[in-house]
Chain A
Amino acid sequence: MESFEVPAPSKVNYLNAQYGLKSWLLTRDHKRIALLYLGSVSLFFFIGGIYAMLIRLELLTPQSDLLSPTTYNKTFTQHGIIMIFFFLIPSIPATLGNFLVPMMIGAKDLAFPRINLLSWYIYIVAGIITLYALIAGGVDTGWTFYAPYSTTFSNSYVVLTGLGIFINGFSSILTGLNFIVTIHTMRAPGMTWFRMPLFLWAIYATSLIFILGTPVIAITVLLLAFERVARIGIFDPAIGGDPVLFQHLFWFYSHPAVYIMILPGMGVISELIANFSRKNIFGYSFVAFSSLAIAVFGFLVWGHHMFVSGQSVYASMIFSVLSFAVAIPSAVKVFNWTATLYRGSISYDTPMLYALGFIGLFTIGGMTGLFLASIAVDLHVTDTYFVVAHFHYIMVGGTLLAYLGGLHYWWPKISGRMYPEGWGRFSALVVFVGFNLTFLPQFVAGYLGMPRRYAAYPPEFQVFNVLSTAGASILGFGLLIPLIYLVWSMRYGKHAEANPWHLPGLEWRTPSPPPTENFPLTPIVTWEAYEFAPPEEMKIVGRVHRGQPLEGADTPVGGHS
């Protein structure tokens, strides 16, 4: 074995290297910044969740009784804004991505550590502005801000909320830029593009959308503010504008933003499926390139949000056919994940339960997307609960489940502690059941014609709403459990080994929690992604093996002399 030992790992890690508030607020360590994001993203998720519960409670009865229509309108608007801009978009990239991009490629940090910290501060400033707008009186335009309602008629804090979203965009752009540069320039020797874990391909594709798409929402929000404040006619036809233009600009960003939310989740699932079945991903390059295909095609389908808006028949047809096309790379991923399980060694640990749940829910979410891509059906179900159910299957059933699965999977590395496995499995099950009970009835209510964003609704829809509210309560309960035991485990959890799951990825070849510099020596990568070996081979910390066949593995590692 041509390898060498480094000094025994010290007890110093990134968590205890320095103490004090200042050491956190001025840190340039990507792992600490990831934790700052984890805390703030969780806080926003909690706020967004409270709005969700208010929505579900109001809709328990057909009348608008718990909340007045105005309050209800603000509630669903704020639920959407908080969840999309301050939870879903940053969730996986800024927490798991921040923590893992350098670790997975064998680097000490991201390319621009100070810019990384700046991203977090921008996010916090944006978050505070938005929260202030919500407390000061709120905003009632829907997260879509459709003009001219938002520019002319709404009597709420539109510009201030818009400012928050505008500023937040820069955080996304800087994070995306940082990831792209890091992945291009800082891969350890031997870490070729096609040896990268698929999570990194997904993060790379997401970063492309961040830097190409986010400027468009910034421009859109700016134009909206110009019209609202200075009455410059851009969108409102009463002063010479075009309201459909707003929808084009808004969806040109916001449809790709859907892929910002789901692609990192798909990356997490590729990791979970491969690692918890101890199999290399079936069709690695197809899964990798499908991420890029989704990122590219995702920019060409925005018009499918506008089939009823009065855009031309031919534009609608083209957007429809492209929307069907973008479904194919997603289908390819699902088939490859499933095929990966074939002849694997599948464990039922909590992260895997989340991954299996993801595949199921994402399949339903994706397939119902075909209903909406099909114009004739879309004309009937758009702006109804069918759409609400569809995108929650993607956003919650997809992204949130992937996020929770990833958080459990990497928790030993992040915190140095194990989470309680029994509670983990239990909560995964509760979340799955609660989720389906919440959103499955909404497909039916939607096809029956219940419009979304209704504070009051005809009584015939009540049965579906009662089911949804019951499901949401179960879902909320299921989400509280991990919140409690993860916090608990940080102090009382079992100490985690360096490689508790016995996996080949670089992030598992360094102590848990890792030292500030991640690896004592720059690793040299001689193995393919997901190349499993006996635990004694993969436990090696800071030690480098070269060109040696790993016992128990059928293919020799590396190819060179």
Chain B
Amino acid sequence: MESSWIKFVPDAASSMAGKVDALYFYLSGVTLFFSLLIFGVLIFFVIKYRRRTPFEIPRPIAGSHKLEMLWSVIPFMIAMSIFVWGAQVYFEQARNPKGTSEIYVVGKQWMWKIQHSTGQREINALHVPVGRKIRLIMTSEDAIHSFYIPAFRIKRDVLPGRYTDQWFEATKTGTYHLFCAEYCGMNHSGMIGSVVVMGPSEFDDWLSGNASQLAPAVAGQQLYQSLGCVSCHGANGEGGRGPELAGLFGKQVVLNTGQTLKADEAYFRESVLNPQAKIVSGFGPIMPTFQGQVSEEQLLQLMAFIKSIRIVNPQPSTAGPGPAAAASATRSTANPPAPPVRTGSPAGR
């Protein structure tokens, strides 16, 4: 942290921080300009046209359509320039870039529980490497929380019952604040921690140094066995009485209602907790709910496992969107830290 006595802008330690600050400076400039303009004119008029005799009656002035147009249109144009700029930066922030590595975050009163894809768990701390794009997948066990890292200029509510996500790329090593920004009860102001941004090799050392826990995907595979998912979805997610799960994420799924949707985290979550909500075309409503049987963290582990199983050697000619088309492909379980490459996946999907 810098040592100046009063700072006006926090540390800028992410790829987005500079862009948000630039917009902030523009807004500050506009604010300063208009405030000074109005104060200046106000003070000038108040002094120049002060009352000189008790009962003077100044000449009435009706108004001016030209001026009204002028001072409606110019502020509107300036407002729209801010909107467009703000929207551009926001789009960049809202769209997840390719090639992110995932970290799972579970908020609960009043702590942040974090698990890396290699299995490290942290509480109220988040270690990340500099220069790599990270995507946080977050959920809450109780009230709404909000994951806030001022130095990265990011904040995202963490809600119970659903996933929210947030990506960032740290650009500067150091230790920064992590806050809960949505009021969540008694010890809300204690739900804070630190974000440690490390050099890439340092981070890799840190990752391999503390790997006492099972990687989420491995833990997820054990859950997949013990919860009995295998009996319908197959030992390696090849499908059976239930739809195929290998290579599921990102794929278009056709439902028995004729609807199509993209398989994402929210779809996965709903399918485990409320399987009757959306049924894949060609399958029956036979899956029981797992509501109350899996914790938020176990759900994330299951998800990590499903994401890790993928098709290694499909037959390109037969590969299609339906579960049957890919059924003959061989599958394997990949080791989680490997980059999530879907080998041989048809480009058109």
Contact = CB atoms under 8 A, between A and B. Distances in A.
Interface string A262-291: 000000000000000111101111100000
A27 B8 CA distance: 55
Interface in A365-406: 367-368, 370-371, 373-377, 379-380, 382-384
Given A148-B160, A153-B142, A324-B82, A451 B31 contact: no
Output the residue of B83, B85, B93, B153 with the most chain A CB within 10 A. Answer: B83
A332 interface: yes
Output the residue of B146, B183, B186 with the most chain A CB within 10 A. Answer: B183
A278 B51 CA distance: 9
Interface stretch (B42-50, B115-123, B323-331): B42-50
A458 B194 CA distance: 12
B31 A370 contact: yes
A347 B1 CA distance: 51
A448 B9 contact: yes
Contacts of A382: 155, 181
B154 interface: yes
Interface in B175-189: 177, 179-189
B23 A278 contact: no
A284 B35 CA distance: 23
Chain B at the A interface: SS class:
mixed
Given A320-B83, A382-B155, A345 B57 contact: yes
Contacts of A69: 186-190
Output the residue of A152, A313, A345, A533 with the most chain B CB within 10 A. Answer: A345
Interface string B53-93: 00111111111100110011001100110110111011101
A324 to B, nearest CB: 4
A363 B49 contact: no
A332 B71 contact: yes
A16 interface: no
Given A280-B61, A447-B24, A338 B45 contact: yes
Nearest to A72: B189
B20 interface: yes
A377 B49 contact: no
Given A342-B49, A449-B150, A278 B161 contact: no
Output the residue of A242, A332, A334, A454 with the most chain B CB within 10 A. Answer: A454
A148 B31 CA distance: 37
B183 A149 contact: yes
Contacts of B184: 149
Given A238-B161, A320-B87, A379-B90, A449 B144 contact: no
Contacts of B6: 444, 463
Contact of A374 (B55, B82, B162): B82
A73 interface: yes
A237 B57 contact: no
A456 interface: yes
A278 B56 contact: yes
Contacts, number: 284
A297 B164 CA distance: 30
A181 B135 CA distance: 56
Contacts of B180: 451
B79 A356 contact: no
A144 B192 CA distance: 22
Nearest to A553: B57
Contacts of A332: 68, 71-72
Output the residue of A154, A237, A458 with the most chain B CB within 10 A. Answer: A237
Contact of A451 (B23, B68, B90, B179): B179
A339 interface: yes
B19 interface: yes
A328 interface: yes
Given A277-B58, A278-B58, A310-B164, 6 more contacts: A149-B143, A346-B45, A363-B38, A455-B189, A532-B57, A533-B57
12 contacts: A148-B142, A316-B90, A325-B76, A328-B75, A331-B71, A343-B59, A343-B61, A345-B50, A348-B46, A373-B83, A376-B20, A449-B148
Interface of A: 64, 69-70, 73, 140-142, 144, 146, 148-149, 152-154, 236-238, 242-244, 277-280, 282-286, 308-310, 313, 316-317, 320-321, 324-325, 327-328, 331-332, 334-336, 338-339, 341-348, 356, 359-360, 363-364, 367-368, 370-371, 373-377, 379-380, 382-384, 444, 447-449, 451-458, 460, 463, 502, 530-535, 552-555
